[in-house]
Amino acid sequence: MSMANTGSARSIATKAPAPWGLAALLLAASMAAPPAASAAPPAPVPNADPAFPFSREIEAFAKANSAGPPVRDATLFLGSSSIRLWDIAGSFRDIRTVNRGFGGATTPHVLHYYKRLLPPVAPRAIVVYVGENDLAAGAAPETVANDIMALLRRLRRDYPRAAISWLSLKPSPIRWTLRPKMAQVNAMVAARAQRVQVEYLDVGTVLLARDGLPDASLFTRDGLHMNARGYQRWSRLVHAWLDQATPAASSPGAS
């Protein structure tokens, strides 16, 4: 019996190492394991204005301003991608033009970059299209209308002699669900624009088909931006307004 007890005790001692032996094993394992790779910090992204994503486009406008002599007696087209994608120079060959549209811009974006969007010489006329992206981003119609009016008042204050027009928010196939909110913004701006001597131009009706829905043949495949046929209709409306609001420029040109 005593021998059996002794053998059992030896067996148990072999399976359970002493406390100091366990600590030594853990220390050796930790020393043998490769160190965990530390996450590399993200590379800095160069951006002159990290609060807004349009720095390169704004820099391009500055370069255009300094590339040659200033464009005098020009019509300034200002706003979002509906302005940027418009072939302004080709559509208005009889006048001088400056295009200051940048894609995805909301009215707060235009206000933020305001001074850097302006040409070096006061324009003869200004055509503005902003507000559509504001609604698409979730802004309330009243907020959008207030922001638009803030921009129009600022333009009127800085250019008291210029003819200024704001183009109504356009219907499009992909944003047709926003049409009621667009109508609210259009109505509010139309009622207030006259107070600051800004012309309201309805450029949405000409984009509708006979059934009252957006005419898909006037838009590109994205269902948002107009194609050349759609822009032709806008150009006719703006031409008519310019003929009535401003005398003809002495000679054509573009920037």
Please check whether residue 147 lies inside any domain of the structure: yes
**Who has greater pLDDT, 104 or 231?**
231
What pTM did the predictor assign?
0.77
Please check whether residue 214 lies inside any domain of the structure: yes
Decide if pLDDT at 253 tops 80. no
Decide if pLDDT at 42 tops 60. no
Please check whether residue 121 lies inside any domain of the structure: yes
pLDDT at residue 26, rounded to an integer: 47
Q: Of all residues in the chain, what percent carry a pLDDT higher than 90?
A: 67
Residues 13-24: tens digit of each pLDDT: 444 444 445 445
**CATH number of the domain that 170 lies in?**
3.40.50.1110
**Who has greater pLDDT, 45 or 215?**
215
pLDDT at residue 62, rounded to an integer: 81
Query: Which residues have C-beta within 8 Å of that of residue 190, sequence separation ≥ 6?
Result: 168, 200
Q: Which domain holds residue 136?
A: 68-247
Q: pLDDT category, 164, cuts 50, 70, 90?
A: very high
Give the number of domains in the chain: 1
Q: Are 254 and 71 in contact (CB under 8 A)?
A: yes
Please check whether residue 60 lies inside any domain of the structure: no
**Do the bridges between strand 96-101 and strand 75-79 make them parallel or antiparallel, or are there none, so unpaired?**
parallel
Q: Are 166 and 156 in contact (CB under 8 A)?
A: no
Please check whether residue 172 lies inside any domain of the structure: yes
Q: Are 116 and 58 in contact (CB under 8 A)?
A: yes
Query: Which residues have C-beta within 8 Å of that of residue 235, sequence separation ≥ 6?
Result: 91, 92
Decide if pLDDT at 49 tops 50. no
pLDDT at residue 85, rounded to an integer: 96
Could you list the beta-strand ranges (E) of 72-143: 75-79, 96-101, 125-129
β-partners of residue 107 are none
